[in-house]
Amino acid sequence: MGMFKEFRQFLLRGNVVDLAVGVVIGASFSALVAALVKDLITPFIAAVAKVPDFSRMFFTLNGSKFMYGEFINALISFLIVAGTVFFFVVKPINLLVAHARLDQPTDTKKCPDCLSDISAAAKRCAHCAQPVD
């Protein structure tokens, strides 16, 4: 019975739920981007390149068929997902973290013995226990 309770606590922990939501949203976003590339971007590139079905482009070498059109679709999808994640997730988070660091008071000093950051009011280092002037 105790193991079930621990497992339930593990599942209900915020990180696990957040991760599950992120995976579901990521899979949905990936499907959306794949449809965007397949149904809008690929036909546009195919119209410019005058090839009716861009995703079926291939070349043959010694009897082997290389389907480079599907690879280009996957590459375009990857670049769209990577760009979206970078510009709409990573950049804003980095700005928030940098802003939060600027707002933190700098009431710390370095311990002369171990060089750890300690409170400016401390009389003894919390890391090495040396007296601090």
Question: Rounded to an integer, what distance in angstroms lies between the CA atom of residue 132 and that of residue 47?
Answer: 73
Reported as a single tens digit per residue, the pLDDT across 105-115 is 668 888 888 88
Give the chain's domains with CATH numbers: 2-105 (1.10.1200.120)
Name the H helices within the chain.
2-12, 14-36, 42-49, 68-85, 91-103
The CA distance from 104 to 122, in Å, is 18
Altogether, the residues listed in the chain come to a count of: 133
Task: Please write the tens of the pLDDT for every residue from 25-58.
Answer: 888 988 888 888 888 887 787 788 776 666 778 8
Which residue's entry shows tokens 């915020």?
14
pTM exceeding 0.95: no
